[in-house]
Amino acid sequence: MISSSLPLARLSGIHKSYFTDEIETHALSDVQLDIHAGEFLAIAGPSGCGKSTLLNVLGLLEASERGDYWLDGQLANALPLDKAAALRNEKLGFIFQSFNLLGSLTVFENVELPLIYRGEESEVRRREAVESALARVEMDHRARHYPSQLSGGQQQRVAVARAVVGQPELLQALRRRLGLQKRLLIVQLQ
């Protein structure tokens, strides 16, 4: 589904290189990409082709050297670090391959964490959002459990709940299977 409206994210002329003592590696070269609300994108390719770098730039985890990155109408790659972090927290959700759940926190507390970082002060709103996100992934019955008490699939569903609890505009996921590496960018979940 491609919308004729303005893109949610736009990359224009994005370049990113990495340098070692003797070698310069061009990870991204003149990337042009428009991402519209409702789109589902899969980025696939061999190791070293720039998939992770592209998602790091889109996730405001890495800066590009040149080019413009517009996210929801803001020139994201020109923001100071604190403003970029705030925009990332508000607009982006991440599902990590290794889930990155904190073992000392319950399922509920793991899912609540992004809302606390966002500055949501209302315990009632946080509780409602967490309960809703856990219900969407059918893990509300495990809210008081710890990650070590869950199966791998259950941990994955908790990681999804944590990624969507703040209703992000963009959701990123990483998956490796049978040697094929895929990076998924899921845009504006409803």
List pLDDT tens digits, range 88-145. 888 888 877 778 899 999 999 999 999 998 888 999 999 999 999 999 999 999 999 9
Binning pLDDT at 50, 70 and 90, where does residue 176 land?
low
Binning pLDDT at 50, 70 and 90, where does residue 66 land?
very high
Binning pLDDT at 50, 70 and 90, where does residue 64 land?
very high
Binning pLDDT at 50, 70 and 90, where does residue 190 land?
very low
Separation CA 90–CA 61 (nearest Å): 14
DSSP three-state, residue 102: coil
Placement of tokens 């994005």 in the chain: 14
Q: Spell out the residues 6+ positions from residue 184 whose beta carbon is closer than 8 angstroms to its own.
A: 40, 41, 42, 43, 172, 173, 174, 175
pTM comes to 0.75
**Total Cβ atoms within 10 A of residue 47:** 8
What digits encode the pLDDT tens for the residues 139-168?
999 999 999 999 998 999 999 999 999 988
For residue 185, the cross-strand partners are 41, 172
pLDDT score for 174: 64
Measured torsion, CA atoms of residues 180, 69, 172, 96, in degrees rounded to the nearest 10: 80
Separation CA 56–CA 98 (nearest Å): 16
Q: Which domains, and CATH codes, for the chain?
A: 9-187 (3.40.50.300)
Selection from 106, 111, 95 nearest residue 162 by Cα: 111
What's the whole-number average pLDDT of the chain?
Answer: 85
What digits encode the pLDDT tens for the residues 84-100?
988 988 888 887 777 88
Taking a C-beta distance cutoff of 8 angstroms, is the pair 50, 78 a contact?
no
Query: Is it the case that residue 76 has pLDDT exceeding 60?
Result: yes
Query: Is it the case that residue 33 has pLDDT exceeding 70?
Result: yes
